[in-house]
């Protein structure tokens, strides 16, 4: 097995950068390896209008390391009040790359999200007309639906009816965690794609709950049973162009995670490429890593692939990542995959 792998520079098709001190601390971790990222709009208050997105993009550009060429791809947070005119204008000038649908209450800062999909159908129709992709957090929120079933229920009760009504709408089903999600996307043709996170390729629900509760493995959608993790790994390493990397790296301070009611989110930006190389090697699919991390995403989003490359090297000794990242808001724990990492991105 070769111990060096050069691939086109990867992109992250689902990333939380936050704002202020946190933005300043976490952005370099992504900009070090990734050329572009789809930036999640779930700030407080959310990034709802074109003007909000322009301001947030400016703040990201300010926070960026001086010589970094990192490019944020902005999204708008879909609400029942989203205005078609504003959205179309933002898309036309290339300010936004996608729109994000959060079912209200599904996750962190989703209170302003969509309660009744009927109220956003006109916006979705307009997006289909101009080819603007919709990124979905694919979980229903009804309290009577078991949290482990919420992704499958979303497909059946929301996603499939919307896609049947607006077949041209281009959808990214984000952070897929179930075999149901994988099968749905794989059978869905070229108007749907799915992102898969780094951590869902590594952990199942036992990591969170067996032998003690581990808040640093808690995120949404929550990791499912092992058979689902194996379906995710098979899809990610298959080379199928419908699947690509969206890390969902979602930093919260340890103080916010380690609480009686702790926040959902796993911070993987620093070691994502090391972990992915490990996973793909384990699956005998290192040659498919470039498709997953660098080629399939741009193809779906109709963007050029990155011109430059990164090289991953396998070392004789494990690469040690800091356990926490210090930020102006407090320490943020870096995802621990639970096994030693030998791959790292060459400087
Ligand atoms: O675990 C998660 N964290 N899932 C989400 O959908 C949101 C994210 C966050 O913003 O912290
Ligand atoms: Zn997310």
pLDDT in tens, 132-190: 999 999 999 999 999 999 999 999 999 999 999 999 999 999 999 999 999 999 999 99
pLDDT at residue 2 greater than cutoff 90: no
Q: For tokens 């111990």, name the residue.
A: 3
CA of 250 to the centre of ligand 1 (A): 6
Asked whether 46 lines ligand 1 (CB < 6 A), one says no
pLDDT, tens only, 117-133: 999 999 999 999 999 99
**Nearest CA, atom 7, ligand 1:** 108
Residue 1 has pLDDT above 60, yes or no: no
- The answer, yes or no, to whether any atom of ligand 1 lies below 6 A from the CB of 246, is no
Q: Please give the distance, rounded to the nearest whole angstrom, from the Cα atom of residue 248 to the centre of ligand 2.
A: 5
> In 10 A of CB 128, how many CB atoms?
19
DSSP state of 119: G
Phi, psi of 221 (to 5 degrees): -60, 145
Closest ligand 1 atom to the C-alpha of 252? 11
The residue nearest atom 10 of ligand 1, judged by CA position, is 108
Share above pLDDT 70 across residues of the chain, in percent, rounded to a whole number: 99
Taking Cα atoms as reference points, which of 96, 126, 158 lies closest to residue 301? Answer: 96
Task: Say which ligand is closest to the CA of 248.
Answer: 2
Ligand that comes closest to the CA of residue 221: 1
56-84: average pLDDT: 97
Catalytic residue numbers? 248
What mean pLDDT, rounded, does the chain reach?
97
pLDDT score, position 22: 98
CB atoms inside a 10 Å sphere around CB 256 = 16
107 in ligand 1 pocket by Cβ < 6 Å?
yes
What is the DSSP annotation of 236-298?
HTT--TTEEE---B----HHHHSSTTPPP-BB-TTTHHHHHHHHHHHTT-GGGHHIIIIIHHH
List the structure tokens of 300.
């779906």
**Which residue puts its alpha carbon closest to atom 4 of ligand 1?**
220
Element (H, E) at 194: strand 192-196
Residue 191 has pLDDT above 60, yes or no: yes
Fold of 4-345: TIM Barrel (3.20.20)
The per-residue pLDDT for range 198-250, each reduced to its tens digit, is 999 999 999 999 999 999 999 999 999 999 999 999 999 999 999 999 999 99
What average pLDDT does the segment 29-48 reach? Answer: 97
What does DSSP assign to residue 94? T
> Considering every ligand atom, which ligand is closest to the CA of 102?
1
pTM of the model: 0.98
pLDDT, tens digit (0-9, with 9 covering 90-100), for 87-112: 999 999 999 999 999 999 888 888 88
Cβ burial of 115 (10 Å; 0-12, 13-18, 19+) is middle
Q: Where are the domains of the chain?
A: 4-345
CA of 220 to the centre of ligand 2 (A): 8
| Residues paired with residue 227 on neighbouring β-strands, in sequence order | none
């Amino acid at each position: 097995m070769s111990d060096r792998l050069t691939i086109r520079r990867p992109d992250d098709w689902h990333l939380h950068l936050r704002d202020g001190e946190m933005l300043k601390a976490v952005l370099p971790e992504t900009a070090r390896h990734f050329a572009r990222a789809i930036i999640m709009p779930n700030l407080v208050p959310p990034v709802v209008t074109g003007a909000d997105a322009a301001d947030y993009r400016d703040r990201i550009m300010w926070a960026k390391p001086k010589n970094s060429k990192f490019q944020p791809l902005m999204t708008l947070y879909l609400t029942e009040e989203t205005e078609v005119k504003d959205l179309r204008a933002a898309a036309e000038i290339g300010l936004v790359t996608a729109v994000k649908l959060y079912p209200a209450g599904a996750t962190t800062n989703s209170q302003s999200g969509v309660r009744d999909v009927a109220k956003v159908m006109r916006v979705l129709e307009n997006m289909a007309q101009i080819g603007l992709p919709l990124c979905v957090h694919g979980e229903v929120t009804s309290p009577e639906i078991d949290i482990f079933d919420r992704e499958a229920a979303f497909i059946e009760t929301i996603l499939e009816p919307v896609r049947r009504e607006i077949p041209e709408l281009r959808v990214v089903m984000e952070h897929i965690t179930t075999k149901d999600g994988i099968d749905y996307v794989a059978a869905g043709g070229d108007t749907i794609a799915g992102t898969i996170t780094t951590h869902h390729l590594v952990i199942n629900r036992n990591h969170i709950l067996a032998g003690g509760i581990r808040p640093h493995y808690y995120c949404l959608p929550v990791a499912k049973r092992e058979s689902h993790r194996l379906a995710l790994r098979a899809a990610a390493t298959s080379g199928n162009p419908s699947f690509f990397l969206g890390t969902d790296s979602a930093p919260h301070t340890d103080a916010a995670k380690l609480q009686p009611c702790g926040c959902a989110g796993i911070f993987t930006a620093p070691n994502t490429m090391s972990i992915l190389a490990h996973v793909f090697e384990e699956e005998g699919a290192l040659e498919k890593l470039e498709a997953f991390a660098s080629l399939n995403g741009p193809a779906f989003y109709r963007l050029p692939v990155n011109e430059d490359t990164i090289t991953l090297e396998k070392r004789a000794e494990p690469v040690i990542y800091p356990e926490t990242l210090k930020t102006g808001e407090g320490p943020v724990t870096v995802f621990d995959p639970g096994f030693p990492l030998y791959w790292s991105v060459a400087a």
